Amino acid sequence: MINSVSEMQKICSGIKGTIGFVPTMGYLHEGHLSLVRAARKQCSNVVVSIFVNPYQFSPNEDLALYPRNIDRDVKLLTELEVDFIFFPTEQEMYPEGYKTWVTVDKITQILCGRSRPTHFRGVITIVTKLMNIVDPDYMFMGEKDFQQLVVLQQMAKDLNFRTKIIGCPIVREEDGLAMSSRNKYLSPSARKDALCLHNSLLLSKKLFKQEIISSNKIIAEMSNLIENNNGIVDYIEVVDSQTLKHLAELRTGCRILVAVIIENTRLIDNMEM
Amino acid sequence: MINSVSEMQKICSGIKGTIGFVPTMGYLHEGHLSLVRAARKQCSNVVVSIFVNPYQFSPNEDLALYPRNIDRDVKLLTELEVDFIFFPTEQEMYPEGYKTWVTVDKITQILCGRSRPTHFRGVITIVTKLMNIVDPDYMFMGEKDFQQLVVLQQMAKDLNFRTKIIGCPIVREEDGLAMSSRNKYLSPSARKDALCLHNSLLLSKKLFKQEIISSNKIIAEMSNLIENNNGIVDYIEVVDSQTLKHLAELRTGCRILVAVIIENTRLIDNMEM
């Protein structure tokens, strides 16, 4: 386990062969591990970072509560034969006098960006830093945070990073709930209610197969299902998978993204049509 | 001469030995060439970029007029045995749909940042891109744009770039005027008036040697000299060389920065005390 930026950077610059990188905030679940396995399969060296990045949380969010279990994380990553675990302190990543931010216009101000206005600035900045430290050939990210994936691909392209960012499929619990460290917050009854995200997406797919293509119509049906299961809809949107642009009508390959508050926990999910 | 980002990136990633990089907007003068010589002396490979970056100009500034002479630039760089000249098009650097910006807080909002509010965002972003394309060990910049040098050093440190940014001394005409591509705009009489920048800095140094250390007192004397030579002061500031923080009293190693409008041309200069 490496805590120092300069040591991690030195090690990575000396690595022969390809580097696959998986950035995480720890408290690893099967979703993260699927990314590590993809990296292990494709690359000769695998680096995983664990850093709960304070700047992607808003003041009213769950930074202090965010679950952590570094011993368990290290054990899981060791079992998967990860070469290096990067576990820096906040002081290492944001030393006193830190002043630099990376932003992406437009696609960060919609969807999750509306209710979390500084979230993406924090995500983009920490990933820029991590990419400069690790200099990976490939970076693996889950499609669960689909907007995050598109935003970071835009940043990497715009800033001419050589790293290729690979989106990997959502991993779900047996009953369909998308895996997330935040699922831990749910009470047993809320855990059942939370199935409404996935079920509403399955419903949209069913309706699309019945040739209903009006976004408004499908969103209305999904909202009903979610509200009938005690969910509060933050957003449901039909978007183009590349540009995240709003679509008035569904088409093959488009994506529906949902954010729902269950109890006090905000959960997200999405599905390709 | 290389025009394509991907080609430049591929070449640089295959280079053995150190890379020294000099980013320029072309129309090269002895100031630029001194940076190239420093790079040539210190590094086994030298890359120079020529790109008039539109995003560091405000709408009311001189982008369209900015002087260009690529043939002469190439000849000068060839004489200095530069290995690669990177001369990308605007389309290559900012393709359609470009959305990403890099900013540095606080130290970009003072001094030149006050009269040029989007200037540094443009400079920082293009240099981030160029550093990712060239991946230099060392980048060489003139101390004439002293705030730019400090801002880019902050960015490179904050974003964990491995590149070391080296500031090189100001190169002056025989009569003391700091070299700048914008000197070309000056009429013969304005060219004489423009000496007031350097002369005011020499005056400050003389006063400091006489143990006058009040910033206000010294700035007043400098303003007088500049105004008596038809200059309009944009700013004169005494700052800490590392942090650019305003100093009420001069001390050894501090820097005085000036920006003055001569005719319609804004010129800058600075000197270490």
Contact between chains at A102 and B101 (C-beta distance less than 8 A): yes
Query: What sign for the dihedral angle of Cα B54, B59, B61, B63?
Result: positive
Q: What is the pLDDT of residue A168?
A: 98
Chain A interface disruption, residue of B107, B157, B160, most A CBs within 10 A: B160
Residue of chain A minimizing CA distance to B134: A160
CA–CA distance, A7 with A273 (Å, rounded to integer): 44
Query: If you search the block for the tokens 């990712």, which residue do you land on?
Result: B132
* Residue B129 near chain A (CB below 8 Å): yes
Task: Compare CB distances from B99 to A98, A154, A162 and report the shortest one's residue.
Answer: A154
Do A94 and A56 form a contact (C-beta atoms < 8 A)? no
C-alpha distance from residue A175 to each of A191, A192, A228, A249, B152 (Å): 11, 9, 18, 29, 51
Is the Cβ pair A155, B98 closer than 8 Å? no
Catalytic residue (one of B32, B119, B198, B246): B32
Contact between B155 and B124 (Cβ < 8 Å): yes
Q: Do B159 and A105 touch (CB under 8 A)?
A: no
A6 chain-B contacts, CB cut-off 8 A: none
ipTM: 0.96
Residue type, B241: S
Q: Which of A32, A119, A198, A246 is catalytic?
A: A32
Residues of chain A under the 70 pLDDT cut = none
Chain A contact for B16 (CB, 8 A cutoff): no
DSSP chain A: -B--HHHHHHHHHH--S-EEEEEE-SS--HHHHHHHHHHHHH-SEEEEEE---GGGS-TTSSTTT----HHHHHHHHHHTT-SEEE---HHHHS-TT--EEEEE-STTSSTHHHH-TTHHHHHHHHHHHHHHHH--SEEEEESSSHHHHHHHHHHHHHTT-SPEEEEEPPPB-TTSPBP-GGGGG--HHHHHHTHHHHHHHHHHHHHHHTT--BHHHHHHHHHHHHHTTTEEEEEEEEE-TTT--B-SB--TT-EEEEEEEETTEEEEEEEE-
pLDDT of residue A255: 98
The pLDDT, as a whole number, for residue B224 is: 98
User: Residue B263: what are its φ and ψ, rounded to 5°?
Assistant: 55, -120
| C-alpha count within 13 angstroms, C-beta hemisphere, residue A268 | 19
pLDDT of residue B45: 98
Chosen from A160, A163, A240, A245 to mutate, greatest number of chain B CBs within 10 A: A160
SS (H, E, C) chain B: CECCHHHHHHHHHCCCCCEEEEEECCCCCHHHHHHHHHHHHHCCEEEEEECCCHHHCCCCCCCCCCCCCHHHHHHHHHHCCCCEEECCCHHHHCCCCCCEEEEECCCCCCCHHHHCCCHHHHHHHHHHHHHHHHCCCEEEEECCCHHHHHHHHHHHHHCCCCCEEEEECCCECCCCCECCHHHHHCCHHHHHHCHHHHHHHHHHHHHHHCCCCEHHHHHHHHHHHHHCCCEEEEEEEEECCCCCCECCECCCCCEEEEEEEECCEEEEEEEEC
A119 among known catalytic residues: no
Q: What is the pLDDT of residue B272?
A: 98
| Residue A258, phi then psi, degrees to nearest 5 | -130, 145
Q: Do B159 and A13 touch (CB under 8 A)?
A: no
Interface touch B162/A102, C-beta < 8 Å: no
Residues of B in contact with A129 (CB under 8 A): 158-160
A5-168 sits in which CATH class?
A: alpha beta
Q: What's the token pair of residue B45?
A: 């490979």
Phi, psi of B162 (to 5 degrees): -80, -15
At B18 the pLDDT is 98
Inter-chain touch B107–A129, beta carbons under 8 Å: no
Compute the nearest-CA separation of B10 from chain A (Å): 9
Separation between Cα atoms, residue B87 and residue B95, nearest integer Å: 15
What stretch(es) of chain B map to CATH 3.40.50.620?
5-168
CA distance B270 to A118: 37
Task: Report the gap between the CA of A81 and the closest CA in chain B (Å).
Answer: 27
Q: Which of A240, A245, A238 is nearest to A215 (CA)?
A: A238
Nearest beta carbon to residue B159 from set A106, A129, A162: A129
* Angstrom distance (rounded) from CA B6 to CA B12: 10
Query: Pick from A128, A158, A160: which is nearest to B99 by CB?
Result: A158
* pLDDT-flagged residues of chain B (< 70): none
Tokens 């960006």 belong to which residue?
A113
Q: Are A132 and B162 in contact (CB under 8 A)?
A: yes
**Partner residue opposite A100 with nearest CB, options B5, B102, B133:** B102
Contact A159 B102 (CB under 8 A): yes
CA distance B162 to B141: 16
Q: What is the pLDDT of residue B223?
A: 98
Q: For residue B1, how many other CB atoms are within 10 A of its CB?
A: 12
Assigned CATH for B181-268: 3.30.1300.10
pLDDT confidence of residue B120: 98
Q: Which of A9, A106, A133 sits opposite B99 (nearest CB)?
A: A106
Interface test with B, best of A19, A99, A103, A126 (most B CBs within 10 A): A99
> Looking at residue B194, what is its pLDDT?
98
A99: chain B residues, CB-CB within 8 Å: 104-107, 154, 158
Which of A9, A133, A155 is closest, CB to CB, to B100?
Answer: A155
